[in-house]
Structure formats: C-alpha cells, structure tokens
Amino acid sequence: MTIAPVAHDRKSDLLDWVRTNREHVVRHGLVATRSTAWLLRRELGLTVRAVESGPHGGDQQIGSMVIGGEVTSLVFFWDPLWAAPHVHDVLALVRVAVLHDIPVALNPASAQAMSLDGFTLEHAATGAL
C-alpha cells in the first residue's frame, strides 16, 4: 500500500497532519511531488519517493501510479480558491483517483478519518464511520 500525500499551497497543513498521524502513515510507502517529498524528509525524517513537482507533471505521474495500482490512497490538500496554473492536472489526479475507487482525502478532517481507519476505509463501506 502506498499513500500519495500532495499539497499545493497547504504544505504546512499536510506537514501538521503527517506529524500528528505519523504512526499510521509510516506503515505505508509514500510518494509525493518533489517539494512535498523534500519537506517530509527534512522535517520528519521520512522515506518518501519523489516525483516531479506538480506543475512539471508530478500530479500526472502520481495519477499514473494510481492507474497502475501502486498508489492506493491519495491525501491531497489544496486550496480550492487558489488559481493554480496547472489546475487541470490537479483535477485530473482527483478524477483518476475517483475512477479507480481509491480513498481520497482533500482536507485534514477526511485525512484524519482515513488514517484512523488504516487507509482502507473499510468502515465507510459498512456505514460504521
């Protein structure tokens, strides 16, 4: 199981969430866009596979990993009010994750629910969450 933590303009929120949920997160492989991977390595000492930055195709690389079954959970903190020059890449990544039916968290509350469930969302399917 590999988690893709991604953050555009919300890296401090992602860092806080990973720090709080470190024991759950480190049980899985991690892959992140370049600056997010660098931040998680530097601040928390985590092993994180890096892909390109988001504007340089990193979101698309992670999307390809979702399609290939390598990425099994997406934690993507982004500001919906932020006019990103690569907003279409952001939306494409979320679309691929939804199409491949993997758990997706777009804010700290949903990411917290995913981490407490072990990133499987087994309880969501039964309505027990």
d(C-alpha 8, C-alpha 85), whole Å: 11
Spatial separation of the C-alpha atoms in residues 48 and 45, rounded to whole Å: 9
Provide the phi-psi class of 99: left if phi over 0, else alpha when psi is between -120 and 50, else beta: alpha
Is residue 117 part of the annotated active site? The answer reads no
Q: Which residue bears the tokens 């024991």?
A: 23
Catalytic residue among 9, 13, 16, 59: 59
Query: In Å, how far are 28, 32, 76, 105 from 61, measured between CA atoms?
Result: 19, 10, 14, 18
Residues designated as active site: 59
